[in-house]
Amino acid sequence: MLHSTALRALLAALAVTLLGAAPAGAQGSSAGIEAKESATGSMTISWRGDPARGCAEAGLCDVAGSVTFVASGGEQTSTSGPPTLRSELMNLSFQAGTPVVRVLRGPATDPLGACADPLGDGHVRLEGRLLPGGRARFTLRPFEAPFGAGTPAGRCAGPLAEDVVEALPSAEADASRVLSGTLELDFAGRRPFSGGPFSGEVSSSIRFTRRARRVARAFPGSTGSGPSPSELVDDLGGAVSLEALYDIVAARGSLVTDFAGGPEPFCLPLDACGLRGTHVVARVTARRGATLSLQADGPRSALRGRGIRAALRAVHAGRLRFGQSGFYPPLRGTVSTVVARDGGPACRQSDRLELPALALRPRRGALRLSIGSEHEDADSVMRSRCPGPGAADLAANTLAAGTIALRDVGARRITVRLGAGQASAGAFSVTGRGDVVLELRRRRMRLHQFGEELPR
């Protein structure tokens, strides 16, 4: 949560933005959209080990699995505005309960093991893309953050999201019906896919309906009651925000996660008994232009002086406070996984991809910086076609974490060492080792009062 002074400052700034945005005399309303949406049917993704795709080398020829998304069928009502076609195309979705992956190892009539893993909250997004002639194509996207399933197979053996994406159901319609009228989409059909040692199919009977109409939507506070923006600012005595923006000029190091199936009965639901493996993140680099913004807020009285130097002293003394924040994934790395079961061949996979987003939060007189967090977990990098742990099996969902001392905020250069996550146990016994080192170089510092830069 934000510190109380920072929260009050943020609310006051928001009030200035919202109330100031209303045109003169706009004690009335602006246009919005009321939409009623519902979905029926289901979508099933199924797969099996394919000898033609090398399942024998991966020890996955006897694996077969599936996951089903069942639309709730209930109607949801939402109001938004002012309406734009592009914004509404980004907001289409429906709930499908909690899908559960089910994977069998061995003969279906007498399996050697069974893995069952619940995925996310069953949120399915409809990705809308404009086409020529006023048409739009809509595609079901059940794997996208922050509420999607992440991967089709979870912690069981199975395909990755990118293996399935081209086979996901799609439908076309008149784009204007998103803003007004009735939009009916039929996603029924079957399409094959393949990825790694697996082949499979996506089958769907999903039907989605949206009924939209334009409505009047009042601005918050438009009734004239409540304090004005100037009264809010006076009540706060003025609020300030100090931003120290750093370039991530270098990144190095590696992270190793060793894991093994936990003791019975904990390993049984995920068919993890006797499983062991290693997950390695190496060759870590920073994306070009990657930055890290350290921003502290509070009342102007906390400065006890003027300018950036006074603000830095307030930060170092804890009088200006930091809130939680996240940053677009700025790091990339080579990710490799090796998983074996007692007496069987090893499943191997390697790739180069983006690491989870960095997360920043205040913690006991310092700033905790982590790769992954409870809000932006590490499933994107722990994913694998092989069976094995996911972000839920890591301590606090983080691959690595370290701290920035408050006294270092504002320094020209900062070195941050992010150590591998702590050991955890459950269905898998997981232990992390290694670290990633980030070199930060200050680009600029700015001091603001409700969006206006103050003199140095």
Token pair 């289409």 is at which residue?
92
Whether the CB-CB separation of 417 and 400 falls below 8 Å is answered with: no
How high is the mean pLDDT of the chain? Answer: 85
Mean pLDDT of 224-250: 67
Q: Which 8-state DSSP code applies to residue 424? A: B
Following DSSP, what letter does each residue of 307-349 receive, concatenated?
HHHHHHHHHHTTSSEE--EEE---EEEEEEEEEEETTSPPEEE
Our separate counts of H helices and E strands in the chain read 7, 27
Cα distance between residue 209 and residue 45, in whole Å:
22
Cα distance between residue 73 and residue 397, in whole Å:
32
Given a cut of 90, whether residue 456 has pLDDT beyond it is no
- Helix boundaries (H) for 351-395: 379-382
Mean pLDDT of 52-58: 92
Token pair 């910086």 is at which residue?
369
Instruction: Using DSSP bridges, classify how beta strands 331-341 and 347-354 pair: parallel, antiparallel or unpaired.
Output: antiparallel
Cα distance between residue 229 and residue 17, in whole Å:
9
**Higher-confidence position of 15 and 349:** 349
Whether the CB-CB separation of 294 and 404 falls below 8 Å is answered with: yes
Q: What is the pLDDT of residue 250?
A: 97
Whether the CB-CB separation of 339 and 359 falls below 8 Å is answered with: no
Q: Could you tell me what percent of the chain has a pLDDT over 90? A: 61
Cα distance between residue 178 and residue 210, in whole Å:
8
pTM reported for the whole predicted model = 0.79
**Higher-confidence position of 119 and 170:** 170
Mean pLDDT of 316-344: 89
Give which of 129, 136, 170, 168 is closest to 149, Cα–Cα.
Answer: 168
